[in-house]
Amino acid sequence: MIRNVLFVCVGNLCRSPIAEALLRRALPTLRVASAGTRAQPGMPADPHAVAVMQSHDMDISKHRAQRLNPSLCAAHDVVLVMDKVLKQYVLSCYPQLRGRVHTLAEESIDDPYQQSYDAFAECYACIAEAVGAWQPRLHALAQVSVRDVS
């Protein structure tokens, strides 16, 4: 049964906090978190990310970055990353995640860090579409118990 989903990007300031908020709103019964492979712990979400999310009635102003680590990996059933390169990096650092790491979308979701508000708005649209595509699958997996699968 899927109960815990982790979104991973590089800095945990833009893409993964957006995805975290979107999935948390869509599937409130799941425990959803985000982290970055090179995150500086405690950093707030990018101001453009906060503004884009506010325009969609979501508040990520209290988000603080955290770095991906072994305990986060162990605590999550599914890890969704922003591109294939990041997937390979995560698996090289945490081979125990094999089978649990997936790309959020078919195409890479580009990092809007240090770009314009419009780049963040475009990133939001890509993430919203990808989270929407994952939503039915995650919802179904959250409903299936281990006994049902065996």
Instruction: Give pLDDT, residue 144.
Output: 66
Let me know: does 65 contact 40? Beta carbons within 8 Å: yes
User: Could you tell me the fold of the domain covering 4-141?
Assistant: Rossmann fold (3.40.50)
Pairing relationship of beta strands 31-36 and 101-103 according to DSSP bridges = unpaired
Q: What is the structure's pLDDT at 150?
A: 34
Enter the tokens of residue 25: 């709103």
> What are residue 4's DSSP bridge partners?
31
Q: Indicate which residues carry an active-site annotation.
A: 9, 15, 111
Neighbours of 13 (CB within 10 A): 28
Quick: pLDDT tens for 42-79. Answer: 999 999 999 999 999 999 999 999 999 999 999 999 99
Query: What's residue 1's pLDDT?
Result: 83
pLDDT by residue, tens only, the chain of 150 residues: 889 999 999 999 999 999 999 999 999 999 999 999 999 999 999 999 999 999 999 999 999 999 999 999 999 999 999 999 999 999 999 999 999 999 999 999 999 999 999 999 999 999 999 999 999 999 898 886 443 433
- For residue 146, what pLDDT is reported? 41
Question: Is beta strand 78-81 parallel, antiparallel or unpaired with respect to 101-103?
Answer: parallel
